[in-house]
Structure 1
Amino acid sequence: MSALLATPAFAASLAVNIEIPRLNASEYHRPYVATWIERADNTVAGTLAVWYDVRTKTNNPEGEGTKWLKDMRQWWRRGGRELAVPVDGVTGATKPAGKHQLSFNEGTAPMPKLVPGAYKLVVEAAREVGGREVVSIPFQWPPTAATQPTATGKEELGEIKLDLKP
């Protein structure tokens, strides 16, 4: 009797490399950062990550961490205000200056199920006593070949690299 061997189904993947530059500022604060995918009509397909001040209520009795999420204005207006934070696997603490990588597989939360078509990866950063910046990278889904499109911010964000694999 022969056994049927299940072949693993490989889904497309998407990795995002986000560089947060160290700024020369007398009062440096880590930026809040939101990363999401937009459809061609600029609606949000899904939020991948939100980094903000997640201190507990004992450390932060006023709940100021979530109060400043609206400073990431584009993300906030396009869908952030509808997100009930914290969200497991999406929200997390702010990150220090440096390079940070996020990886997602199709069909695994928080990666949304994307129909074939044109999309944009959008990364927005806002910093207390600092500025605000939005960087976007257009891409096609599903990827037909491994590609690594990049974009670079001017102040609040450094290089943003999207790593797409079929």
Structure 2
Amino acid sequence: MRRAVTALFPTLIAGPALAGEVAVSVEIPRLHVSEYHRPYLAVWLEGADGAALANLAVWYDVRKKEGEGGAKWLKDMRQWWRRIGRETDLPLDGISGATKPVGAHALSFSTDAAPFAALKPGHYEIVVEAAREVGGREVLRLPVSWPPQAGARAEARGTSELGAVSVGLKP
């Protein structure tokens, strides 16, 4: 009887299929400068034509109120600001967050949720941009093909404001 039930409803016995994952790792390097500020950082998805499709993360000083400078430095992330930032009403629920300290930080997204669930097959880029008050600015682009293939991965390394950045795709 169990064999017949398993043949008809394999997910009831074996468990539900797991959703795929887009994992982004961003390293913020330790900088030896006299006046250090944590970087503002934006991660977004672009199409092959360079059009911004969705914000994935925006880290800035969310504690400061408008007028006190909380969002003032967002414009320093120039590519993000021009492509998608100026049209974004912040804070974005589940996307906006506080700046992060030195170290590696992980972001994880389900392939069954927005914006990935609606992606058509093709080539895309996950873009990471960081800018610091009294500091520099850096942009890294990681190409990805959709839908994800088993074990697909893209890596890049920054030279100033970003360390190692990677994207891992699991179907």
Which TM-score applies when normalising by structure 2? 0.87
The count of aligned residue pairs is 163
Moved more, 34-43 or 105-114: 105-114
Maintained 8 Å contact 2:40/2:74: yes
2:106 maps to 1:101: yes
> In the alignment, which of 123, 137, 141 is matched to residue 146 of structure 2?
141
Change (3 A) 1:73 1:112: farther
Q: Write out per-residue CA displacement over residues 116-138 of structure 1, whole angstroms, 9 at most, x where no aligned residue.
A: 10001100000011000000111
2:23 match: 15
2:63 match: 55
Moved more, 156-165 or 63-72: 63-72
Moved over 6 A (4+): none
Which entry has the higher C-alpha Rg, 1 or 2? 2
Q: How does 1:145-164 map to 2 (within 5 A)?
A: 145-164=150-169
Looking at structure 2, the residues matched to 112 and 49 of structure 1 have their Cα atoms a distance apart, in angstroms, of: 17
> In the alignment, which of 64, 68, 73 is matched to residue 69 of structure 2?
64
Q: How much does 1:112 deviate?
A: 6.0
> In the alignment, which of 66, 84, 88 is matched to residue 79 of structure 1?
84
Q: How much does 1:11 deviate?
A: 3.5
Looking at structure 2, the residues matched to 37 and 79 of structure 1 have their Cα atoms a distance apart, in angstroms, of: 10
2:134 match: 129
Name structure 2 gaps, 5 residues minimum.
none
Q: How much does 1:110 deviate?
A: 5.8
Looking at structure 2, the residues matched to 16 and 128 of structure 1 have their Cα atoms a distance apart, in angstroms, of: 24
Name structure 1 gaps, 5 residues minimum.
none
Residue type of the alignment partner of 1:49: A
Residue type of the alignment partner of 1:51: W
1:115 match: 120
